[in-house]
Amino acid sequence: MKDPAFLFYPGDYLRDTQMLSEKSQVAYDRMMCESKRSLVIDLIQFKFLTKKMNQDEKDELVNVLEKVDGGYQITWVAESIQKREKYINSRRKNLKSKSIKKQPQQPAPAAEPAQDPEAHQTDEVSPDQIPEHQASQMSRFQEVIDHLNQAADLMYPMDYPTSQLMRALVEDGYTAGQMIDVIDLKIRQTQVKEKGQPIFQRKWLSPHTLFKSNLFPKYANEVRDINKGHTAAPAKGAAENIQEFAEHLESMGL
């Protein structure tokens, strides 16, 4: 399935649009959305999107675009789309490689060797020993990490320590959905400041922090209190507000 989104950078957006007139900004927003289908806005598309603009409005719009072969391009949007596609393709390649390398378990020898008390022990359990409801949640671990990476523009892998932290949470009764809710809350809190400092710093958006057994219950309780109206949700960041605006324009066919 084709990836429907791209990483949005509010600083780049505001830099380009802060001096644009109303019609020029609307055309810019439509080009930004069109870029997901084609990185280059060809001259026919450009003419259509600017047909109701006068020459001065067209000139100020062109001033923030990059002229490329075949038309125009919003540089930061093109780079964002290419970066996200490169990351997704890399993840798919890694997952495929791991699947190929994975070998079936060899049958145990007839005579069991003596147990070495110093041998390293793991707590891995075969799938048929995991309760069905827990196995269902564990199957979503990659989805949770992908959500964190895409929403916060990060590149954390699904490594063994992370999977063990998440598994411990599932065994304690938490779900993959709650993990995603905590991620969304903590990302939003990096945009809200108290006494000049973020409530939750971006450097803490690590799976080893978010899913730590002594921290996650507190985060999950924050989400529950907000959902029940006991605590106000953090204000939306600029990126979310602008993303909603872009989606609104797209829903109107603009």
Within 8 A by CB and 6+ apart from 45, the residues are: 31, 34, 38, 71
Distance, CA of 85 to CA of 3 (rounded, Å): 8
Q: Give the DSSP H/E element, type plus range, for residue 193.
A: strand 193-194
**Which residue carries 């997901």 as its tokens?**
36
The rounded distance, in Å, linking the Cα atoms of 146 and 152 is 10
Residue ranges per structural domain of the chain: 7-98, 130-254
Closest CA to 25 of 58, 3, 73, 72: 58
pLDDT at 128: 52
Q: Kind and range of the H or E element at 166?
A: helix 160-171
How confident is the model at residue 89, as a pLDDT? Answer: 79
User: What is the CA angle 248-253-254, rounded to 5?
Assistant: 75
8 A C-beta contact, residue 23 and residue 31: no
Angle at 153 between CA 196 and CA 35, to 5 degrees: 120
Of residues 36, 28, 24, the one with CA closest to residue 12 = 28
- For 17, the enclosing helix (H) or strand (E) is helix 10-17
Mutual orientation of helices 238-251 and 10-17 as an angle, nearest 10°?
Answer: 70
The pair of structure tokens assigned to 225 is 């209190």
**Series of mean pLDDT values for 10-residue runs along the chain (254 residues):** 73 90 92 88 91 93 92 90 82 71 60 52 52 84 92 89 91 92 91 81 89 92 88 63 57 58
The H or E element spanning position 197 is strand 197-198
pLDDT at res. 5: 73
pLDDT of residue 241: 52
Cβ atoms of 30 and 72 closer than 8 Å: no
Q: Which helix (H) or strand (E) holds 170?
A: helix 160-171
**Are residues 66 and 58 in contact, defined by beta-carbon separation less than 8 angstroms?**
no
Written as six digits, the tokens of 47 are 């003419």
Within its chain, how far is the Cα of 189 from the centroid?
16
Task: For residue 222, give the 3-state DSSP assignment.
Answer: helix
